[in-house]
Structure 1
């Protein structure tokens, strides 16, 4: 394959991975929020005080809840970088680097996850959705290049 075509495939794969994974991961997190096993509204949350509507409490729990998003701040940028690293590793033929990405992300988030268990579900679901997307795009890009 021509060098220009290889470069084009790599650039398109990286763009599809980083930017396409964003709405996909957000969608998976929304689906997880609506799942039957997400728990009853308000579970794991602080008790609703007088004057707080149940809708406000409902929206705060689960993987797509406001509390989980607040704890895992910077997740959008971390996700973009994670997907770029995973897709790049697969494209260059070094998929073992994915383990480094997962380790760095897990160790970096450990203090927040330990302190705020409500965010751990969001972390796991978001990371797995993101990794699967980035890996699939990387495999597809590598297959096109070879």
Structure 2
């Protein structure tokens, strides 16, 4: 069982209490509250417009596959990469998320296109 509390009764800050099931490992001690005197971590860089770009990217890839135009997929990836090049060059963590997101998006689009082709365009009779 996990018990999460923010603030008093045990004192200021976040407190996490875990109880192990019978016969399991011992529960962890409560986590100390945040150190308010410590400097805050720099905010993580977020690439703007990612949701809209991702949806348009998936739509373009699905359309390219259904139209049997694989070259269009290369155009989509090239345009997306060139559009984000300056931002990605400055932030390695954002570049890694960009690559993972692009590959995940491509796999999703391929799966949808294959499903549409099998079940809608060429249904099994």
**TM-score category by the smaller chain?**
0.5 to 0.7
Q: Tell me the distance in 1 between the aligned counterparts of 2:116 and 2:72.
A: 17
User: Which structure would you say has the larger RCO, counting Cα contacts within 8 Å and 6 or more residues apart?
Assistant: 1
Q: Which has the higher helix share?
A: 1
Residue 107 of structure 1, aligned match among 70, 76, 82: 82
- TM-score between the two structures when normalised by the length of structure 2: 0.61
What's 1:122 paired with?
97
Which consecutive aligned stretches of 4+ in structure 1 deviate over 4 angstroms post-superposition? Answer: none
What's 1:51 paired with?
38
Output the aligned Cα RMSD: 2.1
Unaligned runs of 5+ in 2: 1-36
Q: Tell me the distance in 1 between the aligned counterparts of 2:116 and 2:51.
A: 23
1:65-104 matches, within 5 Å, as: 67-68=44-45, 70=46, 72-104=47-79
Q: Tell me the distance in 1 between the aligned counterparts of 2:73 and 2:64.
A: 7
**How far 1:115 moved relative to its partner?**
1.5
Unaligned runs of 5+ in 1: 1-49, 61-65
Q: Which has the higher strand share?
A: 2
**How far 1:114 moved relative to its partner?**
0.5
* Matched residues, number: 86
Q: Tell me the distance in 2 between the aligned counterparts of 1:95 and 1:137.
A: 15
Residues 1:95 and 1:143: Cα distance change in structure 2 (over 3 Å)? farther
- TM-score between the two structures when normalised by the length of structure 1: 0.53
1:86 and 1:101 in contact (8 A); partners too: yes
**How far 1:52 moved relative to its partner?**
3.7
Q: Tell me the distance in 1 between the aligned counterparts of 2:65 and 2:117.
A: 7
